[in-house]
Amino acid sequence: MRRYLPTLLLLAFAFVTSALAQTAPPNIVVILADDLGYGDVGFNGCPDIPTPNIDSIAANGALCTNGYATHAHCSPSRAAIITGRYQQRFGYEWGPDLQIINTALGLPMTELTLPQLLSPAGYVSGAIGKWHLGVQLNHFPTERGFDEFYGFLDAASPYYHAALYRDETPVIETEYLTDAFTREGVDFINRHATQPFFLYLAYNAVHSPYDVPPAVYMDRVGYITDRARQVYAAMTVALDDGVGQVLQTLQANNILDNTLIFFLSDNGAPSDAATGGGLSNNYPLRGYKMNVLEGGIRVPFAVQWTGRLPANQVYNDLVSSLDIVATAAAVAGISLPMDRVYDGLNIVPYLAGEQVSPVRTLFWRQFGLGPTGPPVCDPSIWAVRSGPLKLIVERAKDDKPPALYNLINDIGETQDLAAIQPADVTALTKLYAQWTLDTIPPIWQKPIGISEFLPLVSAGDWNGFNKDDPNPPWSLTTITAPDLQGTPDGFNWFTNTIHVATTGGDTTPGTHSFTLVGAGSYLTQWGGVTINIDNSTDIPFFAGSALGPPNTISFEEGYYSFRILNRFEDQIGNEMRAAVMKTSAPPITVTRGGQTPANPGPHDPITVSIATSQAKSVEERIYLRWSTDLFITSQLIEAQGSGVSYSATIPPPHQAGKPLLYTIITSTADLTAYSTSGDRCLQRDAADPAIHHDAACQ
């Protein structure tokens, strides 16, 4: 649905198709704001922050009132923008942790990015600003299809004296960061004005930290008396000025008519947003960043292409950031690869009024295991919108049935219609369930807690109670997700194996005392309990100026494997859960040999072959664990065999068209009591770090 928008600026660009636009593929510019509130731009009615340049994109093109990001926080949203695919298709639901050295932690290398798609058509591509899709060298923008990069890799940066990269070389920026990114964007356009280009200008404004902008911006919003709001407004004004310089540069190079421009935010404003003001503003929406209410996912969204699209439109049908790749590929004359699903649409024909907009269904999910997961693990929140109706499980009510809203009549999501429209609840629930079948669980979980207390050392009588011992097995090995061999459920683990022997071992049989010490500091200790064998133990936290209460553990001859699973929330100040397994031989590792049949039907038993690294000890057990709901609940069966060859069979029936995922785990505990349980903690605590997910029944 389209209606026309009054011109927001006296100066408007004419709707003229130039000769260049007819003969050359268009340039593509994506201007991405960071955490910008829905109500903090003029075209959405902001009363106190002037954004004339951002508004001009809407005035000279289309204001998309129902423009959506795919996720309620930064990194997953960007993964969808740059790939054109729901990030849940490839397990990307959290941002990477800058302090974890893991080459697999970031946008999966199997995913194609927009610059990679555009390159065969002769486009030069530049990424400027915030990346947030991986920090190891193989994930740098210049390794993912961009020809040039100037910006930072992590979630946030200070606005002054920022540590950045030019391509892959570290630099220190001396200008105010928003101005610096504008400078680089203008320079990129000037240098590449004679060839097709893709500019991804991903400002970090108006994300925290809320460093006070230069006086030239603060003075222009001096009428705002609330200091926090004034700083935020000045940050927005700097962003808007940058957008204006980009538009002026395109015009000066006579390429504005042949440039497709997207302006949007990666998600809604953060939780300090308030309808009555405050720091940032999502009005008239309810909710904020990190939630799937409208305030977290509906964003300022405008599209301009003066050589192709009419001006002064208001487009009220659904638009998604997923549409950027599909639209860019279409206007560049590129066919998207057929080996994967692309979730966006080429929206140019709809914005141009040449075709009737389809009724669309959009989906959102922040996956969580809830009470069946690690301590303080949140349940999943999710939403589906089809036409005017939205079904949602929001964070504050994640233990309640989903609510139903009609967003045309109730943009603030205040009137739950679920009780009076049960048929719509059922229909939307089915749509969400069907979409979920084409997604996978996160390949890594929320990156909180692990870096706060590394290294983690067992300071005990075996090493002179040395909290700084760097040597294994006393300094525990960190396994971070996603590991090349896989970690259970995408969580980060600490592990070691202690060889206990009268001679020649790491320590001797008998009773020992030790304290777990994190980060070499007595302020982060865990101790004071007796450690269970072939079970898990919750170890209390302790902070002091010397080594605290010790744990005691009794060893016999053999091998003892420690497994410590990182909490979902901060570990500091909370107990630590450790599992210890005893074996008479070194613990095995397991790999999947294959499955029979390769493409099972609903009534076929599925037999999985399993190979071990060596003959297992009599204490170890091998289990096959499977699930049809992304491992929120699961079943398991013990594998049978001998030597290094084992197998386990998943019995039929299997629901046709519904993926079945399975993993291989090892344990010295008898887990058969949990064969139909949703309790994942014991299974995970006792699991071998190797894990394998496979779609068994399609």
CB count within 10 Å of CB 587 equals: 22
- What pairing do the DSSP bridges indicate for beta strands 635-638 and 313-320? unpaired
As a whole number of angstroms, the distance between CA 314 and CA 291 comes to: 26
Distances (CA, A) of 353 to 12, 15, 347: 20, 15, 10
Q: For this structure, is 499 an active site residue? A: no
Report which of 692, 650, 624, 639 is spatially closest to residue 441, judged by C-alpha positions.
692
Q: What is the largest CA-CA distance in the chain?
A: 88
Residue 147 DSSP symbol: S
Which pair of structure tokens corresponds to residue 36? 């910008």
Distances (CA, A) of 150 to 140, 159, 171, 497: 11, 14, 9, 44
Burial class (CB within 10 angstroms; exposed 0-12, middle 13-18, buried 19+) of 497? middle
Beta bridge partners of 169: 166
Given 46, 64, 73, 74, the catalytic residue: 74
Helix 177-191 × helix 227-252 angle, to 10°: 10
Burial class (CB within 10 angstroms; exposed 0-12, middle 13-18, buried 19+) of 243? buried
Secondary structure class of 93 (helix, strand, coil): coil
As a whole number of angstroms, the distance between CA 437 and CA 660 comes to: 9
Contacts of 260 (CB under 8 A, 6+ apart): 26, 27, 28, 29, 303, 304, 305, 308, 327, 328, 331, 348
Which residue do the tokens 């009470």 mark? 371
Contacts of 300 (CB under 8 A, 6+ apart): 33, 36, 38, 40, 41, 43, 44, 54, 67, 263, 264, 265
What backbone torsions phi and psi does residue 552 show, to the nearest 5 degrees?
A: -120, 145
Which pair of structure tokens corresponds to residue 662? 């399975």
Q: For this structure, is 74 an active site residue? A: yes
Instruction: Report CA 68 to chain centroid distance, whole Å.
Output: 16
As a whole number of angstroms, the distance between CA 63 and CA 43 comes to: 8
- ∠ CA 647-648-653, nearest 5°, is 145
Which pair of structure tokens corresponds to residue 550? 């010790």
As a whole number of angstroms, the distance between CA 465 and CA 468 comes to: 9
- ∠ CA 29-32-33, nearest 5°, is 145
Which pair of structure tokens corresponds to residue 633? 């609940």
Which pair of structure tokens corresponds to residue 443? 């390949």
Residue 378 DSSP symbol: P
Per-residue burial over 427-445, b = 16 or more CB atoms within 10 Å of its CB, e = otherwise: ebeebbeebbeebbbbbbb
Residue type, 429: T
Report which of 622, 535, 637 is spatially closest to residue 587, judged by C-alpha positions.
622
Given 71, 73, 132, 139, the catalytic residue: 132
As a whole number of angstroms, the distance between CA 525 and CA 507 comes to: 22
Residue 266 DSSP symbol: S
As a whole number of angstroms, the distance between CA 45 and CA 127 comes to: 30
Torsion sign across C-alpha atoms 99, 103, 105, 111: positive
Q: State the catalytic residues.
A: 74, 132
